[in-house]
Amino acid sequence: MAEGSAFVFPGQGSQIVGMGRAVYEGSAHARETFEEADRVLGYELSRLCFEGPNEALDDTTLAQPAVLTTSVAILEALVESVNGKLGRRVTEGHEPRGVAALPPALRPRFVAGHSLGEFTALVAAGVLTFSEALRLVAERGRLAASRGAKGAMAAIVGLSAHEVDRVIAETLPVGSAVVANDNGPAQVTIAGDSESIARVTEALAKHGARKVIPLRISAPFHFPDMGRIGPDLAAFMRTLQWREPVVPIVANVSALPHPNASAIPDALVRHLSNRVEWLRSVRYMAERGASTFVEIGAGQVVNGLVKRIADVKLVNVSDPSSIAGALASLRERAGLTAAHP
């Protein structure tokens, strides 16, 4: 099978003060993305991303739109750079956004997002417009904060999901804590009520966990109790227009591509309470020809997980200087010369 790429997008926890500022200053399309976010949300999300404070960026209702917007802005800056170098207009009039705006040879074989990053993947693949995804993520965060589960999340390093499941079952009542993200062979995220997370992290340390890292979140996602906001989220999603993806989107809940656009809203409801199957998702993409993983967003959180799962080339795109390197790598993998679009 010919080699290809996967574009992957980070979720909550990747946010840092200053994210997106460099592409905002260097790319007209990135600047338009941040300006659109400010208009849609009715507050200066751009200032929050660029100036903080950290405490605000860690609030779920603000962090989720901020992470989505930053990743979409960086993707738009990458696309703008590609087409600028090729002297290429994609269409006359309304131009497609996301990966549809790339020359076919440079489009990824798959897109996927880690947890919240799945919403960025929907924008990248053309399923939702940026404005629709932004309103959806803002509503998801509002519902989670007002009526969702309360509790905590923590990253566990040094144990597999199977091992953590066993310790949770031995330590806690059923449903009080779960493995929320299967991030790799020896890294998982757990979610639950705060008291249960405190109890089980002590037990996990005794069973060989090398690190226990509390996560900067204000609500536990991928946790059964968060499913209580599912009906309200589903009702909101019925107001949106869902388009067929231009490239396959590997779903967190199944580690398989969404079969069609109409199946995606239900998967996103299950996404609230079901485990993020990141280990299986990365293996699925790598086994089907994705030999280069391009993380698009603030930092290198996702590719830090990917490198422990698959033997693939890792590329990070977070600012204008990294866009040039990413483009060179993608062209090389696609077998393109400088004169070939």
Q: Identify the DSSP state of 8.
A: E
Q: Supply angle C-alpha 70, 143, 57, rounded to 5.
A: 35
Residue keyed to tokens 């199946």: 263
Among residues 222, 281, 291, 318, the one annotated as catalytic is 222
**Spatial CB neighbours of 47, under 8 Å, sequence gap ≥ 6:** none
CA-based torsion, 187, 119, 245, 8: positive or negative:
negative
- 340 is known as an active-site residue: no
The Cα-based distances of 97 to 26, 94, 161 in angstroms read 18, 9, 37
**Residue tagged active-site, from 46, 115, 218, 281:** 115
Within 10 A of 191 (CB to CB), how many other CB atoms are there?
Answer: 28
Q: Which residues contact 259 (CB under 8 A, 6 or more apart)?
A: none
How does strand 290-296 pair with strand 4-9?
parallel
Query: Any catalytic annotation for residue 222?
Result: yes
Q: What CA–CA distance (Å, rounded) separates 11 from 64?
A: 8
Contact 143, 269 (CB under 8 A): no
Q: Which residues are catalytic?
A: 115, 222
